[in-house]
Amino acid sequence: MSYAILYAENGEFVADFDSHDEAIGALREYVAEHPSISEQVGLMEFDDAGHPSGEFVPASALTSEHEQYA
């Protein structure tokens, strides 16, 4: 399993991680510094074969759903 931060437009990757918590932390920090991109960038989970294993979650949704990471 891996976790990628990417832009929805063009599927442009920004960063990827082995850890879900690390990915969320990095994404939160990224959008905290640049709030204007919170609807454009988000988190995607991939299985070991590289297939998406969940829906794309925009940062704007993650930041409200993961307050425990604040």
Q: Which is nearer to another protein, 52 or 65 (CB)?
A: 52
Largest CA distance in the chain: 33
For residue 45, the minimal CB distance to another protein (Å) is 10
For residue 44, the minimal CB distance to another protein (Å) is 7
Nearest to 42 by CA among 26, 18, 69, 33: 26
For residue 61, the minimal CB distance to another protein (Å) is 14
20, 37, 60, 61: which one binds another protein (CB under 8 A): 37
